[in-house]
Amino acid sequence: MTSDTGTKAPRRKNMRAEEREKLIVTEAVRFFAESGFEGQTRELAKRMGVSHAVIYRHFESKDALIERVYEHVYLKRWKPDWESLVLDRNLTLRQRLTQFYVEYAERVFDYDWVRIFVSSGLKSYGLTERYLDIVRSKIIEPAALELRRERGEPERTDPPGVDELELFWGLHGAVFYIAIRKFVYNMPLEIDVEAAVRNTVANFFDGTLGRPIESSLGDCSK
Amino acid sequence: MTSDTGTKAPRRKNMRAEEREKLIVTEAVRFFAESGFEGQTRELAKRMGVSHAVIYRHFESKDALIERVYEHVYLKRWKPDWESLVLDRNLTLRQRLTQFYVEYAERVFDYDWVRIFVSSGLKSYGLTERYLDIVRSKIIEPAALELRRERGEPERTDPPGVDELELFWGLHGAVFYIAIRKFVYNMPLEIDVEAAVRNTVANFFDGTLGRPIESSLGDCSK
DNA sequence: TAGATAAGTTACCAAGCGGTCACTTTTGCA
DNA sequence: TGCAAAAGTGACCGCTTGGTAACTTATCTA
């Protein structure tokens, strides 16, 4: 019956533990992004063409797997360069934030990331809080301080007040909402994401009344 | 054993169907907002001090109940006045949008509404899409057309282009993100919501550079 | 190449869950 | 006051689901 040429050909390929674990995490990211964390391990296993017991050979529990998914999705995407970018006084604050948000959107605005982020916010394992702490301390606060200078205010060293922070949370929200519309609300975005981000930052600085409507190519690099 | 005074006192109170249904929906709204739609009917019933079969006497299925929750949460909160408010040329566009978003936030920014809205976005029953259609056609598009006039552009009748719409989606996002931070990400908002909304709208019109940082009392009524 | 070890499978458990049904209790009304 | 209809209960069904264990198959190495 078997048509192989004498050498016992394995019907099934085994993967090395490490490789399989990686694959499980990768698949799980996409899977949980689609189904939410209620998605069943059997379904996930089926996607990999494997029995669901395999998952439990490599992960202690479903929760342990979810933990790994978090790590993979959150921590791996933060670019430490961004922290110095915001402080780089060779550029205007507007240039810095434009570049930051364009790069940020590039790395973070995808189906998996956005949905898992929002899902876990609803579940509140405390992970979104931790992530947003990073955003605040590395981006929002520094930007608020830089704005003082940009505006030519006298040098001060006191930490930014609530209103100064709120301002930049507002920008962050406007940008992030682009991703929410696309990946959570499933609204068709007729403009490409980069252009949307550029426009959002531009409008943040200039205001609506001070600025003509730009084409989607929106240029604010200078 | 029974200490009542002779008249057969009912051990259990029955509710009228209509009243019970209302109570179930009310409780379900809060319950699903907390637990997501995976929350069990037994748990929900326990909160009402009732067996879970009661739910199935009044609702065909869990899905039917969820449907009712949607209705209750979404449709009941839209104020038709808003549609004419946006068009009211006795006010500046800035005044109109400030008032709209302040009222909108007042009605819509609560734990139940925001979480159910986002949850159902992730599940995509198509309901968020329908809701956002209302926002677009009643607020975003009219506002975009009014802005042309505000800017003193020559009268035109063509529908607003993508970029004109994007601009106002940006404002909407910045405002809504306030609610997301508070009820989804569970971030402590140190500023009151109305002030945050006012500041967001003000910044939308003036831009950051053109405007001093305001105190949380942020006044932009004139 | 034998056999130890790692990877994968099948069958199963026990708890959870949506939903139903026969029954009891309450209540409105003739 | 008595009784039929409405409201509520508890036990049960069957499917799902996370998790386990005994077994089979592949792979690495002495």
Q: What are the distances in angstroms from CA B90 to CA A184, B85, B93?
A: 37, 10, 9
Of A143-147, A189-193, B44-48, minimum mean pLDDT range: A189-193
Topology classification of domain B17-73: Arc Repressor Mutant, subunit A (1.10.10)
Amino acid at B84: S
Span B102-144, pLDDT tens digits: 999 999 999 999 999 999 999 877 788 989 999 999 999 999 9
Residue predicted with more confidence, A216 or A204: A204
- What pLDDT, on the 0 to 100 scale, is given for residue A208? 75
**Mean pLDDT (whole number) for A56-71:** 95
- Domain ranges within chain A, ordered by starting residue: 17-73, 78-206
Q: What is the mean pLDDT of chain B?
A: 89
> Is A128 within 8 Å of B199 when comparing Cβ atoms?
no
- Of the pLDDT bands very low, low, confident and very high (cuts 50, 70, 90), residue B153 is confident
Highest mean pLDDT among B3-12, B153-162, B207-216: B153-162
| A184 vs B contacts (CB less than 8 Å) | 118, 121-122, 128
| Inter-residue long-range contacts of A133-137, CB under 8 Å, 24+ positions, other chains counted | A134/A78, A135/A172, A136/A165
Chain B span 10-29 residues with beta carbon within 7 Å of strand C: 10-14
Q: Which fold has domain B78-206?
A: Tetracycline Repressor; domain 2 (1.10.357)
Instruction: Give the pair of three-digit tokens for residue A31.
Output: 């899977």
- Minimum-distance CB partner of A122 among B36, B163, B172: B36
pLDDT digits (tens, 9 = 90+) for A181-210: 999 999 988 889 999 999 999 999 988 766
Per residue in B175-194, pLDDT (tens digit) is 999 999 999 999 988 889 99
> Is-contact B176 A187, C-beta < 8 A?
no
pLDDT given at position B16: 94
Chain C: bases < 7 Å from a protein Cβ: 6-11, 16-22, 25-27
Given CB atoms, is A39 within the 8 Å cutoff of chain B?
A: no
Element holding A187 (H helix, E strand)? none
Is there a contact between A172 and B173 if contact means CB atoms under 8 Å apart? no
* Higher pLDDT, residue A167 or A217: A167
**Could you tell me which of B95, B138, B170, B213 has the C-alpha nearest to residue A208?**
B170
Average pLDDT, chain A: 89
Mean pLDDT, to the nearest integer, of A30-43?
96
A139-153, A186-200, A203-217, B150-164: least confident range: A203-217
pLDDT value at residue A5: 39
What CA–CA distance (Å, rounded) separates A199 from A206?
10
Can you give the pLDDT at residue A11? 72
Has residue A66 got a pLDDT over 70?
yes
Which residue did the predictor score with more confidence, B221 or B171? B171
Considering only A144-153, A167-176, B50-59, B138-147, which range has the smallest mean pLDDT? A144-153
**Is the Cβ of A187 closer than 8 Å to some Cβ of chain B?**
yes
Mean pLDDT along residues A6-23: 81
The CA distances from residue B122 to A30, A118, A176, B196, in Å, are: 14, 9, 16, 26
Give contacts of A 52-91 with B, CB under 8 A.
none
CA distance B32 to chain A (A): 11
Chain B residues with CB under 8 Å of A194 CB are none
Token pair of A23 as six digits:
């694959």
User: How far apart are the C-alpha atoms of B68 and B70, rounded to whole Å?
Assistant: 5
Query: H-type helices in B75-189, by residue range?
Result: 81-85, 93-108, 111-123, 127-135, 141-150, 162-179
Tell me how far apart the alpha carbons of residues B200 and B218 are, in angstroms, rounded to a whole number.
10
**B199: pLDDT confidence band, cut at 50, 70 and 90?**
very high
Structure tokens at A180: 């929410």
Check pLDDT > 80 for residue B15: yes
Closest-approach residue (CA) in chain B for A112: B122
- Does B119 lie at the interface with A, CB-CB under 8 angstroms? yes
- Model confidence at B174, pLDDT cuts 50, 70, 90, reads very high
pLDDT for B190 equals 84
